[in-house]
Structure 1
Amino acid sequence: MLDYVFLVVGFALLIKGADFFVDGSASVARKLRIPGMIIGMTIVAMGTSAPECAVSVAAALKGSNTMAISNVVGSNIFNLMVVCGACAAFAPLPVKESTMKQEFPLSILAAVLLWVIGNQSMLIGRTDGLILLGVFAVFLVWMVMEAKKARNQAEEEEIAALKDWQCLLYIIVGLGAIVAGGDFVVDSASAIAASFGLSPTLIGLTIVAFGTSLPELVTSLVAARKGETDMALGNVIGSNIFNILLVLGIAGAVSPMEVLMENLIDDIILIGMSAVVWMFAWRRKQISRFHGVLMLAMYAGYMGYICTR
């Protein structure tokens, strides 16, 4: 019973911690007049990806490496099909041409890079982790350059209500809650999986992936409701890039991770679903309500597949 209590407490800490972290970080970004898409791709994506990072690194440290990989791949599929799909079902998501030509392909290339690395030796070693971190560093430099360019072209925006000391407090408290929550989730989820005879891969793809993706879901839905569609889409794409390059990069550098054939299959599914959503967006320069409902249905089919394989 305590495992279930700790699991709920862990998810609560993850969600609330990410909430505080995003509020504080986004307020800083607003003060610097950074546009919504850049905020979503960087500050908000980093904040909402912090649960995946905490869970995957904690799993790597505890030897549950298959959960680390399945958590990232499962979270990315959830982000793309459920978070993006739910936002589109609520309100059509316009997609800028620059996003379709740059950020969207980059997220697909990150998934392809993961498959190539994993397929070579069925292992993400420390060297592989450093390679992923190196690619992430290049991505981050590119995002900083884009932010500077966008800031020079942006009009003056209303400064966020949070004061400087409040921003700092929100960030520190948020990160502390995320780290503690990630530790609770890994311990309790592993214990529950063992008690039911379920594999860590299945738990990572379902319960843990859903729980760590809740911040992305809540943040993107709120952003879409407020008309910040650029931030909602940027959050999803940015989080998926962060999860593969940064999260698995750190986890691999900390402790080598065995790659299962199931992980490679799920990564191929992620690549395929990403390509489908990219085509949806390319045709009409938006992800429509119909596309959103179709994406949710595709995810339901995927859930049925992983629960029965």
Structure 2
Amino acid sequence: MQNLLFIGLGLLLLILGGNWLLKSAVALALRLRIPKIIIGMTIVSFATSAPELIVSVNAAIEGFPDLALGNVIGSNIANLGLVLGIVLLLGPIDVRKAFYITDWPVMMFASILFFLFIYFDGILSAFEGGIMVAALFLFLVYLLRFQQPAVVEEHQEVIKPLPLYKAVLYLGMGGVGLWAGSEFLISGAIGLAKLYQVSERIIGITIVSVGTSIPELAASVIAILKKEKAISVGNLIGSNIFNILAVLGITSLITPIKVIDRGLLTNDIFWMLGFAFLILPLVFFPKGRRLEWRDGIILLVGYAAFLYLTLS
């Protein structure tokens, strides 16, 4: 009971902390007059990936590498299979060529790079983490200089940024909430794994990853309901890129990550690659440059199959 309480409290603090950080980040970005698609691909993605970052860094430092890896791999699967699936049930999304020229290829590049770094030796070293962080920096430079909107906006709404003092206050509250939430979540997750004698990988790939994906789900659903589809899709693609290049890159720079449960390499990472690849054909079939409810059902069924086969 105590473990479930810790997990629940940890997730609540992570959600609140991520939301406060998101408000602060978007407010500061709007003050700098950064375009919405860039906000979605960078600011919102980083803010909603903050729970994964804090949880993975803490888990790796405290000696639970499978929890750190399972959290990120599971979050990337949940972002596309669960979150995007739900978003598409709420409404179709039209995409432009920047999606398959830049956004999707970078996500696939990051996923394959991570696969090549960790699959053969089971270790993500500080050197490899440095390469991933450098790749993220180059991607951000490209976005800020050259990226055009990848999603068709239905309308442009003028948003007034928060007062500066509120943005700074939310920033501080978000940081504290994320740190405290990660401590509670890791403590509860490890306790639950020991109690039911399951691996840290299983807890990380399911409970922890879905929990840390809740900010992406909340941000995307709110964005789609407000017709801000650029932020919705950009957030999910960008979040997966950030999860790999930033979360795992920064974590491995702090402490190398070594795989303990080989299921991460023989099962989970291939599901992550499969979902990342699947998005491209779904964009073009049956209708070109469009994602709709049928695609959402395919993604949700795929995610359900992943959970069933992983847990069985």
TM-score, length basis structure 2: 0.93
The answer to whether structure 1 residue 301 and structure 2 residue 305 are counterparts is yes
The answer to whether structure 1 residue 276 and structure 2 residue 278 are counterparts is yes
Q: Residues 273-308 of structure 1: CA distance to partner in whole angstroms, max 9, x if unpaired?
A: 221111111342111111111111110011001101
Unaligned stretches of 5+ in structure 2? Answer: 150-155
Q: Residues 84-123 of structure 1: CA distance to partner in whole angstroms, max 9, x if unpaired?
A: 1111111012222111211111101111011100123211
Native 8 Å contact 2:60 2:251 kept in 1: yes
Q: What is the aligned partner in structure 1 of residue 256 from structure 2?
A: 256
Q: Residues 164-199 of structure 1: CA distance to partner in whole angstroms, max 9, x if unpaired?
A: 111111112112111111111111101111110010
Native 8 Å contact 2:55 2:186 kept in 1: yes
The answer to whether structure 1 residue 266 and structure 2 residue 268 are counterparts is yes
Q: What is the aligned partner in structure 1 of residue 292 from structure 2?
A: 288
Aligned-pair CA distance for 1:157: 6.7
The answer to whether structure 1 residue 22 and structure 2 residue 22 are counterparts is yes
Native 8 Å contact 1:100 1:282 kept in 2: no
Equivalent residue pairs, number: 303
Q: Which amino acid aligns with 1:201?
A: R
- The aligned runs of 1:113-124 (5 Å cut-off) are 113-124=113-124
Q: What is the aligned partner in structure 2 of residue 178 from structure 1?
A: 178
1:243 to 1:12, Cα distance in 2 relative to 1, 3 A: same
Aligned-pair CA distance for 1:38: 1.1
Native 8 Å contact 1:85 1:291 kept in 2: yes
Q: Which amino acid aligns with 2:93?
A: L
Native 8 Å contact 2:30 2:161 kept in 1: no
Percent of aligned pairs with the same amino acid: 34
Aligned-pair CA distance for 1:30: 2.1
Q: Higher helix fraction: Structure 1 or Structure 2? A: 1
Distance (whole Å) between structure 1 residues aligned to residue 198 and residue 298 of structure 2: 29
TM-score, length basis structure 1: 0.94
Native 8 Å contact 1:124 1:258 kept in 2: yes
Distance (whole Å) between structure 2 residues aligned to residue 157 and residue 291 of structure 1: 28
Native 8 Å contact 1:114 1:244 kept in 2: yes
Across the aligned residues of Structure 1 and Structure 2, the Cα RMSD in angstroms comes to 1.7
Distance (whole Å) between structure 2 residues aligned to residue 271 and residue 207 of structure 1: 20
Native 8 Å contact 1:87 1:93 kept in 2: no
- The aligned runs of 1:144-155 (5 Å cut-off) are 144-146=144-146
Aligned-pair CA distance for 1:235: 0.6
- The aligned runs of 1:210-229 (5 Å cut-off) are 210-229=210-229
Native 8 Å contact 2:31 2:161 kept in 1: no
Aligned-pair CA distance for 1:161: 4.3
Q: What is the aligned partner in structure 1 of residue 152 from structure 2?
A: none
